[in-house]
A and B are shown apart, each in its own frame.
Chain A
Amino acid sequence: MAWYNEKGNNDDIVLSTRVRFARNLADYPFTGRLSASGAAEITEKVKNALPEYGAVNFSSLTATAARSYVERHYVSPLFTDKRLPRTLLSGENERVQIMLCEEDHIRIQSIVAGFDPNAAFNEACKADDAICSRLKIAFDPKLGYLTHCPTNLGNAMRVSAMVFLPALTMLGKTDGIMPGLNKLGMTIRGVYGEGSRAEGNIYQISNSSSLGISESDIIANFTNVIERVCTLEKEARKVITDRELDRLTDKVCRSLGILRSAYMLTSDELNTRISDVRLGASLGLIDPIESSKLTELFIASQPATLAMSGEGLEDDNARDKARAKLVRAALA
């Protein structure tokens, strides 16, 4: 089962946790100087090292199909450009995804529902062990895993969480936590990573240091930071409910009403309304709706993923109608 269909720990705030390792083969140029034939050779080698993984060749996908993988957080936006032949390897239950020839030759990532960095780390390690024991990996005892961009040197691990921070956003406090996170070696970004917007009040928090610190220390530090952010968000939720409960309840109920009965829904409106409903449900302002169900709906109604279901393909209007139909059915 995919991460967005599962229930997770603390998923009223932390929607998912991901661990990513960057690896490169020692004897090939990094992707900036890699030929298409070099990319094909690397792809074959990694596929042979992981015979049980399924492979999706991105060169043969339509733009919509490729975009749908971005929306599900399986690949980065960079992965969908066609500069190099790119292949995604996918493990059992979609637990581990391996991007071949993204910025680095090999990007192993494991994504789980809710907050569980250790589960994601353990899954990623299994794939890493299989690859690193069979292929000659670029590694230096002082610099660690050698990467295309020197910012990723060291353990080349990024652990990140998608966090839902509506109350901190309403109070204008998300900018205020940025410097504090930076001091702790963490960064905060929009939902689809670098340079993206915080759609639906969802942010991505990740570690920024990777050299001279072990994976377990990064995870311990990250866990402390995420717990702290969760506490801040809970405090902010208390402030807004103390301050304007009626107005907030009204907003949540209106949003739920719109989701349950709208005939057309744009992607932006859906993101806003789902955010309201997710907050309302977690505060008990409306009947319980599981956070995982809303995440599933959020992903299923993103433009490309919706189009992949075969609905609303004609034009924007058709898509907005199809999205509204999907949401009405899910929340009936």
Chain B
Amino acid sequence: MSYRIMIVDDSRVVYAEMKKMLEGSDIEIAGFCRSGEEALNEYENIHPDLVTMDIVMPGMDGLNAAEELLKRYPEAKILMVSSLAYDDMIDKAVEIGAKGFVFKPFEKDALLKVLMDELQKN
């Protein structure tokens, strides 16, 4: 079974890195949005199985975008992606309803595991 994810990150480096690491896996990148605002507009069109959401972005940051996305689409599965890994940030992400955290810089095995664990739930 293959899965479709949507990447939300202002950096195309993250898209390129994920694309490289997901090659040969069951995960397809169905969408790439470079801001929280774009993610809110595109989610319904792309309707991904999972969203990876950067935290530090210009304009609406990832936490606000995730919160808004979950208000509109409570079924959305969101993993926060950041190098900001302090306790309060993680607590806030969980409180909003994010399913987990992926830490930068990515390590291929860890990234695949976190994504697949979440995608295979339910």
Q: Are A and B subunits of one complex?
A: no
